[in-house]
Amino acid sequence: MGVFDTSRASTTNIASGTVNEEARQAFLTNFAGAAYATSPTLTPEFLNGVDMVAVCSTDTEDAGISPLSASEQTALFEFVQGGGTAFLIAEGFTPHLAAAQSIVAPFGVTIEDDGMSDILVAAPTNPAHPIFDGPFGVAPPIPILGTGIFTDLGPYATPLARLQIGRQPALAVIEAGVIAPGSGRVVIIGDGSPFVDTADGGFSRYTETMLLNTLAYLAPVPEPSGRVLGGMAVAGLVAVVRTRRCRRV
């Protein structure tokens, strides 16, 4: 499992971050043989060595990663176009919004802060989709603590979950072969709190099934049990801690 190194993603780094231990343990327990790889940037050379990349827009609670450069955006798009898969955690809280927009822009998606501070729920638009009904079980609706909402899903993505208040898309998917023949899958979520430890104000205990189904859906092999995902690159997987919205209440 690869990650951005700590020069790019620090306290929210999936390999060493302190607020995502539950998600990290769930992954390592259920996907045997996974290994970490690090890179400060998304380059064709780095991406050529992996099957899957996941990028999160957060560095710390109050700051996003440095936004993806134009060359990184091109590398990410071409990686998926060539058959790689991507998990994009585009935390849309204002301090992270520029970074969030930079990771979804290659796919024609635009995102904005929803402006809310309450815990909301994103309900699936297709409960039969493998992310909600997959090899790890049936996942409930997604609890989120504020979120980014997708104001334009672009030419490739379709909504997979919408906020129950306002009905804006908060989770979207690009299916295999949509971008080009042989292109890979992309899952895009507008909030990182579903993958933050419960003790830190997140919801990882409640969203573990959804997370594992998502990783299985994006994995390059069909069966989750005992698989080796040594080529999987997860760049700064999870996001912000419990106080991120307090200033807005």
Q: Quick: pLDDT tens for 148-167.
A: 889 999 999 999 999 887 78
- Given a contact cutoff of 8 angstroms between Cβ atoms, the answer to whether 47 and 68 are in contact is no
Q: How far is CA 113 from CA 77, 126, 241, in A?
A: 24, 24, 17
- One DSSP character per residue, 120-149 reads EEEEES-TTSTTTEETTEEPPPEEEES-EE
pLDDT of residue 1: 59
**pLDDT tens sequence across 26-57:** 888 998 877 677 799 999 999 999 889 989 89
Domain boundaries, the chain: 2-241
Which DSSP string do the residues of 149-207 spell out, in sequence order?
A: EEEE-TTT-EEEEEETTT--EEEEEE-TTSSSTT---EEEES-SGGGS-GGGT--HHHH
From CA 233, how far away is CA 225, in angstroms rounded?
19
Q: For all residues of the chain together, what is the average pLDDT?
A: 84
- Arithmetic mean of pLDDT, 63-84: 96
More confident residue, 4 or 82: 82
Q: For 94-110, write each residue's pLDDT tens digit.
A: 899 999 999 999 999 99
The model carries a pTM of 0.88
What's the pLDDT score for residue 139? Answer: 94
Say what the pLDDT of residue 222 is: 46
pLDDT band (50, 70, 90) for residue 199:
confident
**Which is nearest to 211 in space by CA: 194, 191, 228?**
194
Q: Do 215 and 26 form a contact (C-beta atoms < 8 A)?
A: no
Tell me the fold of 2-241.
Answer: Rossmann fold (3.40.50)
The amino acid at residue 55 is V
Say whether pLDDT at 115 is over 90: no
Chain centroid to Cα 233, Å, comes to 12
